Amino acid sequence: MGILNVTPDSFSDGGIFFSCADAVAQGKKLVKNGADILDIGGESTRPFSAEVSAEEEVKRVIPVIEKLAEQIAIPISIDTTKASVARRAIEAGASMINDVAALRLDPEMVDVAAEYGVPVVLMHMLDTPKTMQISPTYDDLIGEIKAFLEKAIDGIEKKGILRSRIIIDPGIGFGKTVEHNLLLIKHLKEFNSLGTPILIGPSRKAFIRQILKDEGVKDINPDLQEVEIGTQAAVAAAILNGAHIVRVHNVANTRATVMITDHIKNVQNSDNIS
């Protein structure tokens, strides 16, 4: 899943693809580089970010979706928590909803997803982007996130959304410490029992930057080469532990990582291997 942020303030590439022309060009580049899904968002969900209005979000993403839907053959996902934005995006050519709030913030979001019969991504997040990184704590990290996602799945199934159209995302970086994120990747197989594909989004996230930065440095630039290398390490680990979809900024690098990791994961033992 290639990331296309049509925002001025995303933590990585914020403002770079804010114009419609630049966003369309980047979307086509991500497809050319091997993306299977294009995820387009018009509101930053970085830690401590503020909400934007539905009208502003529509203004940012709909022209981009309309143009790309005419030019690319892969599914377009709308990254939003707002039902009105999701509806407009689907009408413009999107065919999937990626909601960081697991369809909880807008009571009409479930109805939109059910009406159009599109796949939905349910992500775990503590509170909101503005508050999620203020001392996140868990008594049972995996158990609590798994229970949250199970409840979210059950809730939307009761409203007519088939489990076969549901994808879950444990929410790397959304109300988690560095250790929480590492444990989620390490124990990703625990979510297999939910019976849905697992999406993971480690790309350029703060936990990677915190591990790689020098002591005494508050943060490092998300666009540094070492952060990209760290992303690919996290992607490989996630795939080996059960991820089905990886959401990333650099599709070309990730495609190579996915191909090699999949081959390692799926290779069959020969007769002379005990």
Any domain includes 241: yes
Any domain includes 53: yes
Among 208, 268, 209, 267, which Cα is nearest to 233's? 208
Any domain includes 272: no
The number of folded domains in the chain is 1
Cβ distance 214 to 207 under 8 Å? no
Any domain includes 270: no
3-state secondary structure at position 98:
strand
Give the active site residue among 28, 247, 255, 265.
Answer: 247
Q: Which structural domain, as residue segments, surrounds residue 100?
A: 2-265
Any domain includes 31: yes
* Low-confidence spans in the chain with pLDDT less than 50: none
What token pair was written down for 138? 């868990």
Give me the CATH number covering residue 28.
Answer: 3.20.20.20
Cβ distance 181 to 207 under 8 Å? yes
> Bridge-partner residues for 5, per DSSP?
41
46-86 confidence digits (pLDDT tens) = 666 678 899 999 999 999 999 999 999 999 999 999 999 99
Q: What pTM was estimated for this model as a whole?
A: 0.92
Any domain includes 274: no
User: Strands (DSSP E) along the chain, which ranges?
Assistant: 2-5, 38-41, 76-79, 96-99, 120-123, 166-169, 199-200, 245-246
User: Strands (DSSP E) along 94-195, which ranges?
Assistant: 96-99, 120-123, 166-169
Catalytic status, residue 209 = no
To the nearest 10 degrees (0 to 180), the angle between helices 225-240 and 178-186 is 40
4-18 confidence digits (pLDDT tens) = 999 876 556 556 677
Any domain includes 273: no
- What's the pLDDT score for residue 12? 60
Any domain includes 158: yes
φ/ψ of residue 112, rounded to 5: -65, -45
Catalytic status, residue 247 = yes
Give the active site residue among 146, 205, 209, 265.
Answer: 205
